[in-house]
């Protein structure tokens, strides 16, 4: 029988550290439910000590997810570990993931601690975590730039203290595959009690080798891989879950490992995370990109028509590409609508929220001949029922764009309960719209990103717009979707403004 490879998903923690990808509690719950449906073994739901909101989200996920282990990150100190323990308390299976830096540069420059102090702190953290759960994971931050002998020493100590998983992170994306394989073999051979724990890899993508290094670690003995949907993560991102899973599945001759992932849920998971975070998937992205199974070359097309495996090593159906069409229309009822939302992992928090979503669906059905699952996901982009982040709303919009004339926009914006009409000129219709909004909001924010993507095919497709704003070091993403790109743009900008005005900040460690 093949060995088991455990999939540890950190989209909700490390993925959320991407600029502007911060999620609400309800959004985190939606993703966690989809990850459970996907078959993820461990869901790192957040960093409980970062904020009361993060702790509340982990606690809520622990209450509703039963098939996956729910994990909270914690630095190697008492405050973090107690916060993590409280957050995972309702979980059917809970884990605390504690870490401390072990590389010479981190210990000297960041921690300002001697190696003996680092070992002492790690052991104390694991022992304290064991008061809350038997499932404790220890990570040596910046392990791939650490001294192997010191790693073997600290790993031996935390295993004796009760750690059940040992994680070896490539925190800065410095590693290369063949050295990673040898590094894991060296650590496993040199650590007493190495056979009592599961060894784990956590790789960043700074040099574009996160997936390759993760798979190299597996060849070196790792049996847990830490990854994210779409490779989401700070800087250049993390190892992509979908690429690791499909590599192991496709190359059984190399890995001979099994996962419990339902691969037909990969594409739905990818779309959900992209829609919530505002990070679109590039068309040529492996497995989940729109072009991943497209064949432009005549030679390739001919080969695929004759026998699919001539140019496809996996099928589109195997990763969920065929499960995207919605059989609802303008005559569909509320119960059918509610049922499809549930299948997509979307759960409106109240009957009023469902009614509002259903009304938006009916409006869309009047505009589009065919409606897809992506359209439903897009309906919820940029929407939130929390009044604290819903200061601005679009009431109406009129844009005039004519060849040879400067585009002009007339908007009515609701600022709290006050409706404010405003006119503005711009270099284009979107520029005029954004200037009109800013004339009301006076946010002082910098526009870092403006991105437009078609949700589905066809000229009647919804356009999904992502806007990234920055102010005083606080970065947020806003999203909006509509069959009218200018309206979608206004919705996205207002969504970002509402998040910016909410003042929600999170303290995120780097692993």
What's the average model confidence in pLDDT over 113-137? Answer: 97
The verdict on domain 387-502 having CATH code 3.30.160.270 is yes
Number of CB atoms found within 10 A of residue 438's CB: 17
Query: What kind of fold does domain 8-277 have according to CATH?
Result: TIM Barrel (3.20.20)
Q: Are 446 and 463 in contact (CB under 8 A)?
A: no
- pLDDT, position 329: 65
- pLDDT tens, position by position, 231-284: 999 899 999 999 999 999 999 999 999 999 999 999 989 988 988 888 888 888
Q: Are 263 and 249 in contact (CB under 8 A)?
A: yes
How many Cα neighbours within 13 Å face the side chain of 497?
A: 24
What's the average model confidence in pLDDT over 460-481? Answer: 85
Look up residue 31 and give its two tokens.
């993703």
- pLDDT tens, position by position, 40-82: 999 999 999 998 989 999 999 999 999 999 999 999 999 999 9
Interior CA angle at 374 toward 489 and 325, to 5°? 145
- pLDDT tens, position by position, 411-441: 999 998 899 999 999 999 999 999 999 999 9
- pLDDT, position 312: 59
Phi first, then psi: give them for residue 230, nearest 5 degrees.
65, 10
Position 506 pLDDT exceeds 60: no
Q: In the sheet where 446-454 sits, what is the strand order?
A: 446-454, 463-471, 474-482
- pLDDT tens, position by position, 209-223: 999 999 999 999 999
Q: Are 22 and 39 in contact (CB under 8 A)?
A: no
**C-alpha 383, offset from chain centre:** 18
Q: In the sheet where 408-415 sits, what is the strand order?
A: 392-400, 408-415, 418-425
Look up residue 388 and give its two tokens.
């604290």
Instruction: Say whether 129 sits in a helix, a strand or coil.
Output: helix
**C-alpha 411, offset from chain centre:** 34
| Separation of alpha carbons 145 and 176, rounded Å | 12
Position 125 pLDDT exceeds 90: yes
Q: Which residue has the higher pLDDT, 455 or 453?
A: 453
Alpha-carbon radius of gyration of the chain: 24
Phi first, then psi: give them for residue 400, nearest 5 degrees.
-115, 120
Range picked from 339-343, 356-360, 444-448 for highest mean pLDDT: 444-448
Position 456 pLDDT exceeds 80: no
Mean pLDDT of the residues in the chain: 87
Where in the chain are the domains? 8-277, 334-379, 387-502
Q: Are 127 and 162 in contact (CB under 8 A)?
A: yes
- pLDDT tens, position by position, 179-202: 999 999 999 999 999 999 999 999
- pLDDT, position 317: 85
């Amino acid at each position: 029988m093949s060995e088991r490879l455990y999939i540890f998903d950190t989209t909700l923690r490390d993925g959320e550290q991407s600029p502007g990808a911060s999620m609400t509690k309800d959004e985190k719950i939606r993703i966690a439910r989809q990850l459970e449906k996907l078959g993820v073994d461990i869901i790192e739901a957040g960093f409980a000590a970062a904020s009361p909101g993060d702790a509340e989200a982990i606690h809520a996920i622990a209450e509703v997810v039963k098939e996956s282990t729910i994990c909270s990150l914690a630095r190697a100190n008492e405050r973090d570990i107690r916060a993590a323990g409280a957050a995972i308390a309702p979980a059917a299976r809970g884990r605390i993931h504690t870490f401390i830096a072990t590389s010479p540069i981190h210990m000297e420059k960041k921690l300002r601690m001697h190696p003996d102090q680092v070992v002492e702190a790690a052991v104390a953290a694991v022992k304290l975590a064991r008061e809350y759960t038997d499932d404790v994971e220890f990570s040596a931050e910046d392990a791939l730039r650490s001294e192997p002998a010191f790693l073997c020493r600290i790993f031996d100590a935390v295993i004796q203290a009760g750690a059940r998983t040992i994680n070896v992170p490539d925190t800065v994306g410095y590693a290369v595959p063949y050295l990673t394989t040898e590094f894991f073999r060296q650590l496993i051979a040199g650590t007493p009690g190495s056979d009592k724990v599961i060894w784990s890899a956590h790789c960043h993508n700074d040099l574009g080798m996160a997936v390759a290094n993760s798979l190299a670690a597996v060849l070196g003995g790792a049996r847990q891989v830490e990854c994210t949907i779409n490779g989401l993560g700070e800087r250049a991102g993390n190892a992509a879950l979908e690429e690791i899973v499909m590599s192991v599945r496709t190359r059984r001759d190399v890995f001979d490992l099994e996962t419990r992932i339902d691969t037909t849920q990969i594409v739905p998971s990818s779309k959900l995370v992209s829609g919530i975070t505002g990070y679109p998937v590039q068309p040529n992205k492996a497995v989940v990109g729109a072009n991943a199974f497209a064949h432009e070359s005549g030679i390739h097309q001919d080969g695929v028509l004759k026998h699919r495996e001539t140019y496809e090593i996996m099928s589109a159906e195997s990763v969920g590409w065929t499960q995207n069409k919605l059989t609802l229309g303008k005559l569909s009822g509320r119960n059918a609508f509610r049922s499809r939302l549930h299948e997509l992992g979307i759960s409106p928090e109240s009957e009023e929220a469902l009614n509002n979503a259903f009304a938006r669906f009916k409006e869309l059905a009047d505009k589009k001949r065919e409606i897809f699952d992506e359209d439903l996901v897009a309906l919820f982009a940029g929407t939130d029922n929390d009044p604290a982040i819903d200061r601005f709303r679009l009431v109406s919009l009129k844009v005039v764009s004519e060849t040879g004339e400067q585009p002009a926009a007339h908007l009515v914006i609701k600022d709290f309960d006050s409706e404010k009409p405003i006119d503005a000129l711009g270099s284009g219709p979107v520029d005029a719209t954004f200037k009109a909004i800013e004339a009301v909001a006076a946010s002082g924010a910098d526009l870092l990103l403006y991105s437009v993507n078609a949700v589905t095919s066809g000229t009647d497709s919804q356009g999904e717009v992502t806007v990234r704003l920055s102010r005083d070091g606080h970065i947020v993403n806003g999203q909006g979707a509509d069959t009218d790109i200018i309206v979608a743009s206004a919705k996205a900008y207002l969504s970002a403004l509402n998040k910016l005005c909410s003042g929600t900040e999170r303290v995120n460690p780097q692993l």
